Amino acid sequence: MSVGLEHYLILSAIIFSIGLYGALSKRNAIVILMSIELMLNAVNIAMVAFSRYIVPLLLTGQVFAIFVMVVAAAEVAVGLAIIISIYRHRETIDVTKIDLLKW
Amino acid sequence: MGVDIAFWILAVVGVGAALAVVSLRDVFRAALSLVLCFLAVAGIYITLSADFLAAVQILIYVGAISVLIILAIMLTREVRRGSPSGKLRIPAFIVAVLFFGGVAFALLNTTWQVSGVPPLEPTTPAIAELLFGEGGFILPVEIAPILLLAAILGAIVLVREK
């Protein structure tokens, strides 16, 4: 059986679910950020696969993937700056201990 | 045929590296397996004949984002505490499995209108035409540097010493 669109979409769904599990269950803020990166990569795989198999000559999915990468780079820069800033003030990046807004 | 074999190898490596990211206790090793996962995704792009995107993936994700993440791991000295799971580990697992089941059910029961046209190669001139050409994506391309500039300024303001 040759590899088709469904294979790529299932692969994308698997990586997205792994990232979702990591983002929901981990306590280290940097690991949560890494899981979010996994989810963004999974979405990119799905968009490039759609672009390749459904509209092979338009490449719109690849352009969308490029914009997702731009936003991911900005997100990582700001997210890590926030984590380092929190670490300076509270000496921890355990998200269960960062409960300043919890009443 | 060769593309099929490459897809299976890259898929197994990518999923294994992604599982290692969420299961390893050592944060630094998790970051290194994240790099491996990014490389596997770049290979997946090549099997989809997206050559420009594979190069961008290696430059941005493998080159820049993973270095930023490793730098943050070093700066926060949380390595010795590892990456423990919270109290919500089992609900999170159930949510992830349910999500995967729903998505897989939906996409296996959809009839996709797959086009038989062979893909465009090389893709770089076509992407450039689409990004900068007439009636293309020129407005998002102009907004992207503003977003990046705002992100850089925000990062500087957040981590600046008082």
- Angstroms from B20 CA to nearest CA on chain A: 10
Residue range A62-99, pLDDT digits in tens: 999 999 999 999 999 999 999 999 888 888 888 888 88
The residue assigned the tokens 């797959």 is B114
Q: Name every residue whose Cβ is closer than 8 Å to that of residue A48 and which is 6 or more positions away in sequence.
A: A61, A62, A65, B45, B48, B50, B53
User: What is the full per-residue pLDDT of chain B (162 aa) written as tens digits?
Assistant: 788 999 999 999 999 999 999 998 889 999 999 999 999 999 999 999 999 999 999 999 999 999 999 999 988 876 667 777 778 889 999 999 999 999 999 999 988 888 878 887 788 998 999 899 888 899 999 999 999 999 999 999 988 876
For residue A103, pLDDT over 80 is answered with: no
Q: What is the pTM of this model?
A: 0.92
Would you call B4 and A3 a contact, using CB atoms and an 8 Å cutoff?
A: yes
- Whether residue B1 is found in the same domain as residue B69: yes
Q: Is residue B72 part of a domain?
A: yes
Assign residue B77 a region (left: φ > 0; alpha: ψ between -120 and 50; beta: otherwise): left
Domain presence at residue B16: yes
Residue B76 belongs to a domain? yes
pLDDT of residue B65: 92
Among B81, B114, B132, give the residue marking a domain's end. B81
Longest Cα–Cα distance of chain B, Å, equals 60
Residues of chain A in contact with residue B57, where contact means CB-CB under 8 angstroms, are 44, 69
Same domain, yes or no: B76 and B129: no
The DSSP string of B76-129 is: HT-GGG---B-TTHHHHHHHHHHHHHHHHHHHHSS------SPPPSS-HHHHHH
Q: What pLDDT, in 10s, does the model give residues A42-51? A: 999 999 999 9
- Does the ipTM surpass 0.90? yes
**Amino acid (1-letter code) at residue A14:** I
Cα–Cα distances in angstroms (integers) from residue B111 to residues A6, A43, B106, in the given order: 10, 20, 10
Contacting residues of B for A60, CB less than 8 Å apart: 130
Do the domain assignments include residue B53?
Answer: yes
Determine the CATH number of domain A5-90. Answer: 1.10.287.3510
Residue B102: inside a domain = no
Pair (B7, B75) in one structural domain = yes
Rounded to whole angstroms, the Cα distance separating A80 from A102 reads 22
Return the pLDDT at B79: 63
Residue to test with chain B: of A5, A59, A78, most B Cβ within 10 A: A59
* Contact at CB, A66 and B61, closer than 8 angstroms: no
- CATH number of the structural domain spanning residue B40: 1.20.120.1200
Mutation pick from B8, B21, B27 vs chain A, by most beta carbons of A within 10 Å, is B21
Whether B147 is in a domain gets the answer yes
Provide the domain count of chain B.
2
Contact B60 A18 (CB under 8 A): no
B4 belongs to a structural domain: yes
pLDDT the model gives residue A1: 64
Distance (Å, rounded) from C-alpha B25 to C-alpha B10? 24
The set of residues, in sequence order, having a beta carbon less than 8 Å from that of A45 and lying 6+ positions away, is A8, A11, A12, A15, B41, B44, B45
Would you say residue B22 lies in a domain?
A: yes
Same domain, B73 and B143: no
Task: Provide the pLDDT for residue A24.
Answer: 92
Indicate the residue among B81, B96, B131 that finishes a domain: B81
The whole-angstrom separation of Cα B140 and Cα B118 is 28
Q: Could you tell me if A15 and B14 are in contact, meaning their C-beta atoms sit under 8 angstroms apart?
A: yes
- What residue type is assigned to position A27 of the chain? R
Residues of A in contact with B76 (CB under 8 A): 30, 83-84, 87, 93
Chain A partners within 8 Å of B95 (Cβ): 20-21, 24
Whether B6 and B65 share a structural domain: yes
The residue of B5, B15, B22 whose CB has the most chain A CBs within 10 angstroms, and thus the best one to mutate to test that interface, is: B22
pLDDT of residue B134: 85
Residue B151 CA neighbour count, 13 Å, CB half: 17
Is the preceding peptide bond at B84 cis, omega within 30 degrees of 0? no
The parent domain of residue B130 ranges over 122-162
Per DSSP, the three-state class of A26 is: strand
pLDDT at B87: 80
